[in-house]
Chains A and B, each alone.
Chain A
Amino acid sequence: MGDQGCGLVGKVVAPGDAVQALPASGSVRIGPGLRAEGSYVVAQKCGVVRQTRNGKLWLESKQKRYIPAEEDLVVGTITDRRGENFVVDIGAPFPAQLPMLSFEGATRRNRPNLVAGDLVYARVITANRDMDPVLTCVDAQGKSSGFGALKGGFVLECGLGHARALLARPPAPLLAALGAKLQFELAVGLNGRVWLDSSSCATTVKVANVLQQAQGVAAAEVQQWVAAQLQQ
């Protein structure tokens, strides 16, 4: 890892901007939004340069159109069943395939009974630009671990950057502030769809409104802002 690019971490770059010079030896790990061109790591969209703890550089951008990537968590709507697969709309350029056998405990005799319009929380296992994305509702051990059909509830759409922020660990300040006041269940998809459910419609609507309007509220002010919103 050269330390030349560290000056740009946290800065906004535009497409084509050089982020870091490639070192003469060794390797640089780059993530979404960046590519190597000539002797530089170059941005290909606009966003804020970020660096993970193990030194990987990536670009945090705000966009609306979801492009699938492996290991992304998504909320999808079943649109059709074709042979052994469900066809799922995840907001990507192409519909995703969800094999009927990739649910916990599913066998050829015992298939999940899902119809068009049902919601699923799934994980992307194949994301290739030349092939349709493939989803699964189990983890590596074959357990559901939170994936599967989502019953009831409400889906709201938000920007991809906002969804990523909601999935942060430790929990996003916005969710922490909401969770302290209200009881609800939610599944955040990196495709910009958030499913939420609670015991009463009033709570669901309240949480949905706050989540949607919170896009663009600075992290430092979130707690105060949520308190003000819930008072109304």
Chain B
Amino acid sequence: MVGQDGHRAKGRLPSQMRPLLCERSVLSRADGSAKWAQEGSAVLAAVHGPHQAGQRREDAERAVIEVLVKPRNGLAGPAEREAEEMLRQLLEQVLLTAHHPRTLILVVVQVLQADGSLLAVAINAVAAALADAGLPMRSMFAGVCCAFGADGTLVIDPDAAEEAAAGSVITAAFPCSHTLTQQHGSSSSSAAVPALSLPEASLLLHCKGRLGAPQLASGLEGCRRGCQGVAKFVALALTNSFKDAMVKSSDPAV
């Protein structure tokens, strides 16, 4: 998959992701929505709720999470069912469901364009939509896909052609948040600055193809590095979306 000059098709480096695009609040009727695109792959995610769950589905202790994945065309099949279940398990770890007992949180994922790394794109779209909906969460999360070529080279964020040619494909999601670290500066010793931290443990791991333990470890590490980049982008996108609110805070009248 990697050519003689160390570049992939379309001139990307093995550890280079496609350009990311995130748009939030794209749907007017949903409580939270986001569109996430990685060049050829694009996904629209909508969050509805928390709202009253049906009598049969409600849980007296926590919110019930339901995920619907809709393919770009045709009817949802086993692949979509699998993605729904993986996303649901991911969300159960991340959402503070005990805050809203007896309710239902519905997440709808619509694939707009499919060109590889779809599960990772869907994970990122759902994360952005949940942030937009303002549901209580333990942390933000990011997902990245990587593929091993037949010759064992690792490429991050493969497109459809690379995925088809790959011997194995790994998708992993990691929680990402900012912790406060003490800065040992000269001016003030108590100044704490936020620093991005990604725990070692993944929230979701999906493997396809033949894979050895050392390959899995290096693939996970590759995904984790990719997630770091995605997390930085998400933090920047969030800050930009609150720009007018930040101006207000510097206003002396407030």
Contact = CB atoms under 8 A, between A and B. Distances in A.
Interface stretch (A3-11, A98-106, A119-127, A223-231): A3-11
Interface residues of B, number: 47
A165 B180 CA distance: 30
Interface string A2-23: 0111011111111111101100
B96 A44 contact: yes
Given A17-B194, A62-B134, A129-B100, A12 B179 contact: no
A40 B182 CA distance: 13
Contact of B51 (A47, A60, A93, A218): A93
A219 B178 contact: no
Tell me if B's interface is mostly helix, strand, loop or mixed: mixed
B246 A48 contact: yes
B99 interface: yes
A47 to B, nearest CB: 7
Interface string B116-138: 00000000000000011111111
B239 interface: yes
A14 B131 contact: yes
Interface residues of A, number: 42
Residues of A contacting B: mostly = loop
Contacts of A93: 49-52, 100, 102-103
Q: Which of B50, B176, B245, B249 has the most CB of A within 10 A?
A: B245
A20 B103 CA distance: 31
A44 B191 CA distance: 23
Contacts of B100: 67, 93, 129
Contact of A18 (B50, B52, B138, B178): B178
Contacts of A65: 31-32, 49-51, 133-134
A114 interface: no
A219 B251 CA distance: 9
A48 B49 contact: no
A63 B32 contact: yes
Contacts of B179: 18, 40
Interface of B: 31-32, 49-52, 96, 99-103, 131-140, 175-180, 190-194, 234-235, 238-239, 242, 244-251, 254
